[in-house]
Structure 1
């Protein structure tokens, strides 16, 4: 084998997985078909649960320094400010057992730079300009073939190469879903020096043949992210002239107010889920497994947490500390989460749900997983399968005890908890009776 794990795609999913494997001593290689990291602000919102994951992966300080909180929306009509709108319902400090009360804005290109720097710090590698064109496997491993360069042989492979995943298509895994809007949308990063950066500027449709446009100041930069729903049947014009014309048509700004277009793309909002998240020794993660509407900032966050779930399991199996069957729990746990979050993001797009507690992703759990074993007669608020809250007990912060790639045994007033490497309770009991049986089952001896 050339490597233990081949990760296809150097977006947030692939990079986060690379970091998690590198800190476990797993020989992993990330390959990316582009010559550089993907440009653009894209998924800019990091939810509280993802920020907790980033703390464990060792990038939280850089992420906090690179971004900022979301601004309040300012609604404009005919060049006049007509109202304000809070885009997210914040939590009170400590309300959900987290130090974070809402999403943190970091442009995706900057997020990726931070993750790549951390991966390299740990000795990990990204090979750019490596486009997968064919993939095969047998009982021992996976072979990936590229448009140029030698093939790579790995014990396992992970497709983290986006919604149009070449690996998923090569494996013949269908992705079922629905188009949520028949009209296309445009997203771009622009500079507009004259526009105030205090607000997230929202311009509702001016008529039945128009569409909304929003300009969000990107924290940590001098740029705005422009998002616009195009008129029915309109083809996107991603040129600087096209973007300037769109801004002038939808806002009070003159075309020349847009002094620079840094990046632009178009998309049609869609919700879709792969029929399965594993084919033999190949796993699907992130957008390769599930595609979300951008509403509510759920896609990137769900994707990073896919990586966080899969990383410790691959590390345990490759290190000989757990049976290969442990890898079956990846789909068992992550597919229901993806289904739930897809429904949530679709409901937010359709104005049927708000961006509140559910979007922060702190309440997602694995209670129904085969890895979750609750033996207490009266479990109380923290049950097997739940995320351990960020609490301080007897002057000790629990998250400080949980950091790192290992399982943690906690004894608290409410019982005994064996916490998984990803911060969820695996086993809970009133005493340690039965803990040995669980440990043997999951490969802990």
Structure 2
């Protein structure tokens, strides 16, 4: 990581200097704020961490609870989420404490004794097959802790305002702070007051008050199937207790997921079809009955439950909200947004709820930051709903199929390997890597896609190893990017780098047009060069000035923007080959949320200018 560029740092470098609203941040909730986040779940906490990187924007987060979440319901962390953690600076630490899913085993009825279960297959988990990041299990509460730390350590110094309940809101047609939000502070008998905001993000869960206030509704239905779920400490003779398992038995089904810490595990236990007219009584199934059901399914193995950290009974629901913001027509820009469970709900067994919710927050955060700091026009905010609602619908469709496969009876299964086959065949979707945004003001057309076939437009930037020329170290190109609200521009050189030098000279005025005069030259665009030569075949000081910017109050040279692609003793791959990049050179533009926005040849400077003219505002 880079630090010292704004002066010597002797303490924790992850704690960035307070700026803007982070300096002397008011402890009490103000009457007016730019962004009000309602709810401190995964989407809300990521959104707060992102907004902390925009310290000139006043952001507050209110949460009805009195303090941090203790027992989180979600626990599955997909590789795309770990990639996101990398951008927020805590991937290494959370990986160290998490359970890494290396394998998934499948169990079914013993053909010779169907009342018993036997292992039918063992598959490698998909995590490292499609990403350098693992597939993890870790308590949602810990994920929120890390994002809370990132929000507090960011320049904006954002901390949640606990004990504040959302009561309702009204969106007015005029005024600098058009969203009037009613809240109650300090419990049921607390003070009611009004806060005015420019924008509100509803991150308040499946029973969202924000969703109700803007007149949006969930579309979908509950499936007539119930599941019990429990986090347990047990003694057992089941040999795969520390391996993720899908268990299909005559008595029902279990999805078994080991948890972090070496001892805790989560079990999703099939409670069967819900009778007509049940009126949700199945949700009152006693814990003892759920444990007995688990033992029935596991036969001939048993679990002796010593402690239950958390448990619940739920019916599978598949719902997506009819809109993700309050713009019911095209006559005005949205002011209120919905994220996470407030706009999509589904079963927990596909491990998608927390992951998709975090990407909602990531998508929305940088857009709010850009609009409120004057970098981008308000039209940008309309892309949140147009991009995220199709993703939610795809999730609902995937989860419906996965849940149906998990709930089958043995006699409904013709091939005992088909669940394992489906699990691996669909790996890219649950990993979070199938999201592909359509062309818009922030995703260019595909006229030049062939120049960088390995970086599909609208998909997240898939990193690869390169050699950092300044020190000869092999690093992942994408891992240098942080969730700091900046655009990334990767300039892959032509063979002799002559075209790259011409490009650098031509685009410098373009980037300066959108960069604040009082900011670092790379405050908006983080521009990097990747040469085809070996790192030891040229001098870094021969690179154009664009790739050696002077930053900070001392105008220090940033030596970490020039890379080489030729394999070396430490870097075994060539990114040009790995990502099918044109040897004539190509420019890959990546959004602040890590999605590929444009692909252009080196001589298409006018096209690059037109692209940014469509989504950014020049500085005054």
User: What is the TM-score normalised by the length of structure 2?
Assistant: 0.65
Please, which of 50, 68, 92 is the counterpart of residue 20 of structure 1?
50
Please, which of 352, 355, 365 is the counterpart of residue 436 of structure 2?
365
Q: What is the alpha-carbon distance in structure 1 between the residues aligned to residue 311 and residue 383 of structure 2? A: 38
Aligned residues: 437
Q: Which moved more, 1:165-174 or 1:220-229?
A: 220-229
Residue matched to 1:275 = 322
Residue matched to 1:135 = 169
Residue matched to 2:463 = 390
Residue matched to 1:416 = 587
Residue matched to 2:401 = 347
- Would the aligned equivalents of 1:240 and 1:260 in 2 still touch at CA under 8 Å? no
Residue matched to 1:200 = 244
1:330-359 deviation per Cα after TM superposition (whole angstroms, max 9, x unaligned): 111111222222212222222384351222
Aligned with 2:272: secondary structure? Answer: coil
- Would the aligned equivalents of 1:245 and 1:255 in 2 still touch at CA under 8 Å? no
Unmatched tracts of structure 1, length 5 or more: none
1:44-443 mapped onto 2 (5 Å cutoff): 44-70=75-101, 71-73=103-105, 75=107, 82-86=118-122, 89-90=125-126, 96=130, 98-100=131-133, 102-122=134-154, 123-138=157-172, 139=174, 140-147=177-184, 148-149=190-191, 150-179=193-222, 181-194=223-236, 197-200=241-244, 203-206=247-250, 210-220=251-261, 222-232=263-273, 233=275, 235-237=282-284, 240-252=287-299, 257-279=304-326, 280-351=334-405, 353-354=422-423, 355-374=426-445, 375-376=447-448, 378-381=450-453, 382-395=455-468, 397-403=476-482, 404-413=484-493, 414=582, 415-430=586-601, 431=603, 432-443=605-616
Q: What is the alpha-carbon distance in structure 2 between the residues aligned to residue 10 and residue 219 of structure 1? A: 22
Q: What is the alpha-carbon distance in structure 1 between the residues aligned to residue 300 and residue 48 of structure 2? A: 43
Q: What is the alpha-carbon distance in structure 2 between the residues aligned to residue 350 and residue 267 of structure 1? A: 15
Residue matched to 2:66 = 35
Q: 1:239 to 1:153 in 2, by over 3 A?
A: farther
**Higher RCO by CA contacts (8 Å cutoff, separation 6 or greater):** 1
Deviation, structure 1 residue 264: 1.5
CA radius of gyration, larger in: 2
1:195-221 deviation per Cα after TM superposition (whole angstroms, max 9, x unaligned): 564333555343xxx432344221225
Q: What is the alpha-carbon distance in structure 2 between the residues aligned to residue 83 and residue 251 of structure 1? A: 11
User: What is the TM-score normalised by the length of structure 1?
Assistant: 0.89
Q: 1:87 to 1:143 in 2, by over 3 A?
A: farther
Aligned with 1:439: secondary structure? Answer: helix
Q: Which moved more, 1:393-402 or 1:252-261?
A: 252-261
Deviation, structure 1 residue 185: 1.5
- Would the aligned equivalents of 1:317 and 1:326 in 2 still touch at CA under 8 Å? yes
Unmatched tracts of structure 2, length 5 or more: 1-30, 185-189, 276-280, 327-333, 406-418, 469-474, 494-581
CA-atom RMSD, angstroms? 2.7
